[in-house]
Amino acid sequence: MLEIKQGSVVVVVPAHIRVPENAGELTTKDMQRVVKARRGVGITCDATATAMEKDPQRLAVPGVDPAELRSAGKVAEDIDWVITDLEVILGRLKQANMLLDADAHVMLRKCLAYVRAQEKFDAQLAALVPQLESYFAKSPSAPKPQDQL
């Protein structure tokens, strides 16, 4: 199995998927130069490899081995599945992020409500949490006095 690490995330890719060394390092111009495969490349590779094996005399393509062609198509399809799985995980993590951010935001609103309520008795209390005040001052959903908990 191949492990790809980025920050705190480790993705384990099946061993038969060979990730090219320069993957992730291509510039935009390099990406534009890469040949764009059409949909169904894996299925077409498999079908063509089968045809090459059935009639090797007529389909003897120089530099193309049927087994290698089939393998290349399988890898191309399999990495699509890995990417799909990652997209599902990414969607789940984005939702988790939204929910966790919302929980933290609600707690901050409670803190702000407490600070504002206690300022009557301790005028310097807000000075202890200047970032709390500025967070809600610049927020598009800044709580209104009647909106506080």
Q: What percent of the chain has pLDDT over 70?
A: 93
Over residues 111-128, the pLDDT tens digits come to: 999 999 999 999 999 999
Residue 135 CB-density burial (10 A; 0-12 exposed, 13-18 middle, 19+ buried): middle
Q: CA-to-CA distance for 131 and 44, rounded, in angstroms?
A: 59
Q: Where are the domains of the chain?
A: 2-147
Indicate whether this model's pTM tops 0.85.
no
Instruction: Return the closest-CA partner of residue 18 out of 75, 70, 68, 64.
Output: 75
Q: Where are the beta strands (DSSP E) in the chain?
A: 2-6, 9-13
What's residue 26's pLDDT?
94
Over residues 54-82, the pLDDT tens digits come to: 999 999 999 999 999 999 999 999 999 99
Could you give the angle at which helices 66-118 and 130-138 cross, rounded to 10 degrees?
Answer: 110
In single-letter form, the type of residue at position 67 comes to A
Q: CA-to-CA distance for 145 and 7, rounded, in angstroms?
A: 41
pLDDT level of residue 2 (50, 70, 90 thresholds): confident
